Amino acid sequence: PQAQSSTPSAAVAAAPNGVAAAAGAERIPLRGVRGAVADKLSRSRTEIPDATCWVDADATELMAVRAAMNAATGPSAGPKVSVLALLARICTAALARFPELNATVDTEAREIVRLSGVHLGFAAQTERGLVVPVVRDAHTRNAESIGAEIARLTELARTGKLSPAQLTGGTFTLNNYGVFGVDGSTPIINHPEAAMLGVGRIMPKPWVHQGELAVRQVVQLSLTFDHRVCDGGTAGGFLRYVADCVEQPAVLLRTL
């Protein structure tokens, strides 16, 4: 009898990257925004030894403060302030206390580069895919100014009019995935940054408040950080400060 060949069939051998051809399968080229996102996230996963910590926070007081701010009338009343803008302002205050996280790593020089200014990226979902516009000099802005810039950049993102300069140069990213109705996540760092804060949805939940069980507005906050730039104590301190500001917005007044 004739010996059977152990060589894979031509059809299987021709399948790229070991992915067998499947009847009716659709192949979508990784190009454009999707391709750019894929490349950047793959590079982040390959190069950055990341870790994630998270905490649940009672956002009831923050929501009350926001409602009071937006209810103001008269000459002092300004544009409405979003929850994202308040969280962004909290992030800039936290980065002032923990500058280790406003950094990048120069792998060739084997140096941690701490950055002097905060250029805050925020994740924005569009019909073309995920983009991360950057609020320049966020550390010099108040919540109202940050909110106005977020609104402006978001509109440009939705209409596909963001320039490359508006999508690059970020030093820290805020990802509000709560808008998709999810509670938590382990975000992938936006390379070459050193950290990203993730924010889940704010939901009414049972919570012990002042020794009594009550229904409060609770949010999960998660911080993914580059373990090369700091250890868990610094990352935990940053996240705890953010949570303290969410739970007691008066804490933030110390830095205004």
Task: Pick the closest to residue 99 from 212, 238, 245 (CA basis).
Answer: 238
Work out the angle at residue 243's Cα, subtended by the Cα atoms of residues 144 and 180, and round it to the nearest 5 degrees. Answer: 70
What is the distance between the alpha carbons of residues 245 and 131, in angstroms, rounded to a whole number? 27
**DSSP-derived pairing of the beta strands 120-122 and 124-126:** unpaired
> Where does residue 32 rank: exposed (0-12), middle (13-18), buried (19+ CB within 10 A)?
exposed
Work out the angle at residue 207's Cα, subtended by the Cα atoms of residues 206 and 213, and round it to the nearest 5 degrees. Answer: 85
Q: Is 119 part of the annotated catalytic residue set?
A: no
C-beta of residue 102 within 8 angstroms of C-beta of residue 194: yes
C-beta of residue 119 within 8 angstroms of C-beta of residue 137: yes
C-beta of residue 89 within 8 angstroms of C-beta of residue 149: no
Helix (H, G, I), strand (E, B) or coil at 159: coil
Task: Pick the closest to residue 121 from 130, 131, 134 (CA basis).
Answer: 134
The total of other beta-carbon atoms located within 10 Å of residue 219's CB is: 26
Q: Is 56 part of the annotated catalytic residue set?
A: no
State the catalytic residue, choosing from 50, 137, 231, 244. 231
State the catalytic residue, choosing from 50, 56, 227, 244. 227
Task: Pick the closest to residue 230 from 110, 53, 101, 111 (CA basis).
Answer: 101
Residues recognised as catalytic: 227, 231
